[in-house]
Amino acid sequence: MSLQQNEGLSRRWVWLAILLVFVVSGYLIFARLNGASRSSAQASVPIHPAIPVVATAARRGDLNRYLSAIGSVIAFNTVTVKTRVDGQIVNVAFTEGQTVHQGDLLMEIDPHPYQALLQQAEGQLAKDEATLVNAKTTLNRDRSLFQQGVIAAQDLDNQQSLVGQSAGGVKSDQANIEAAKVQLDYTRITAPITGRIGLRLVDQGNIVHAADTTGLAVITQLQPIAVDFSIPEDSLPQVIQDKRKGQALPVDAYDREFKTRLATGALETFDSQIDQSTGTIKLKAIFPNTDYSLFPNQFVNVRLLMETKHDTVLIPAAAIQRNPQGTFVYVVKSDNAVEVRTVTVSAAQGDVVAVDSGVMSGELVVTDGLDKLAAGAKVSIQVATQATAQKTSP
């Protein structure tokens, strides 16, 4: 090989080496730039953090549906005790505020004037009975004389009339005696009903009259006691249906704040007509009131148990959301993503609702943090400290 050919071959290898260096360098530069662009692209993709929410597990249970209303406590019987005879009060036999029973002595009026009237009537009766006996004896004698023709028929008739008059006088005297006894009995004023007696309105020593408008005391029956309240007319058919079945409809009475249950009773009856001005009908409930927790003219909050849904799925009312398509909840799946479920609400009471479809017992439904949720969103769950429970508030 000539020297010229060797120099040409050496130049070719030099250029190939230079070209190879450029190719490798370009590849390395391209790879580095491509990796940087990928890192930049990945950095530009936003990372959504998990949304903190509060969730509660749905459970199966019973839900009571109530009607709430404002009621007024009414006494079954209230009696103003009055005197039926005139006289001076000589004895007050009761203590103000005590419970009295029917027939208990309350007051006594001076009986002496009425005892005198009774004795007078008894004396008149004795006199007229003697007159009657004498008239009958004379009548028997006149009959014998008339048969003998000694006296005329008119004399016999007159004597027979006299006997009738004497007999009538005796009956009148007997009636006067009974009237005097009644008046004497009225001097002892007794309780006409069993109940709590209030403050006395007249003190011992005062003169009272049967015509007085002011009574001596007031007795109010507290056991049992009634509560009147009104419900919407649309709820009346359900009440009538339950009453016809013979079901006892429980009624609870609460204080003004609706926090403390004062007494439990049962619905007794309902009014005969609907109030057109309010669209309501009045109901009456009966309470045993054994602890005197209810008092006449007291205002209470009333809850009437209308129905009980048994063995249904219960969730908090806070979980229920609404949109134009219907009612739905957010259910937390096993991967901590939320799913939108359409639910059918069958009943609600207080903070709890019963659903017929859409949620199963044990599934977690979101109750707080709902404003930031969307279908498929990841959440961090804080389980409610208390399980879904039926509330007693209205």
Q: Report DSSP letters for 180-234, one per residue.
A: HHHHHHHTEEE-SSSEEE---SS-TT-EE-TT-SS-SEEEE--SSEEEEEEEEGG
Q: β-strands 379-383, 51-57: how paired? A: parallel
Distance CA 267, CA 270 (A): 8
* 378: Cβ contacts below 8 Å, ≥ 6 apart: 48, 50, 51, 336, 337
Instruction: Say how far apart CA 387 and CA 332 lie, in whole Å.
Output: 16
**With 0-12 CB in 10 A as exposed, 13-18 as middle and 19+ as buried, what is 110?**
middle
| pLDDT value for 5 | 54
pLDDT at residue 382 is higher than 90: no
Q: What pLDDT score was predicted for residue 394? A: 45
pLDDT tens readout for residues 184-242: 999 999 999 999 999 999 999 999 999 999 999 999 999 999 999 999 999 899 888 88
Q: What is the pLDDT at residue 168?
A: 93
Inform me whether the pLDDT recorded for 79 exceeds 50.
yes
Q: What is the percent of the chain with per-residue pLDDT over 70, rounded to a whole number?
A: 85
- Read off the pLDDT band of 308 (50, 70, 90): confident
Model confidence band, residue 350 (pLDDT cutoffs 50, 70, 90): confident
Q: Considering only 75-89, 143-157, 166-180, 296-310, which range has the smallest mean pLDDT?
A: 143-157
Tell me, what's the pLDDT at 24?
63
Tens digit of pLDDT for each residue in 159-194?
889 989 999 999 999 999 999 999 999 999 999 999
CATH class of 111-186: mainly alpha
| Mean pLDDT, all residues of the chain | 86
Name the residue ranges covered by the structural domains of the chain: 1-47, 52-63+310-383, 111-186
Determine the pLDDT at residue 306. 84
Percent of the chain with pLDDT over 90: 54
- Is the pLDDT assigned to residue 48 strictly greater than 80? no
List of residues 6+ apart from 227 with CB closer than 8 A: 71, 72, 73, 74, 251, 253, 265, 284, 285, 287, 294, 300, 302
pLDDT, one tens digit per residue, over 264-279 is 999 999 999 999 999 9
The pLDDT, as a whole number, for residue 293 is: 94
Pick the CATH number of 52-63+310-383 from 2.40.420.20, 3.40.50.300, 3.10.20.600, 2.60.120.260: 2.40.420.20
52-76 mean pLDDT: 91
pLDDT of residue 390: 43
Instruction: Lowest mean pLDDT of 87-91, 352-356, 366-370, 379-383, name the range.
Output: 379-383
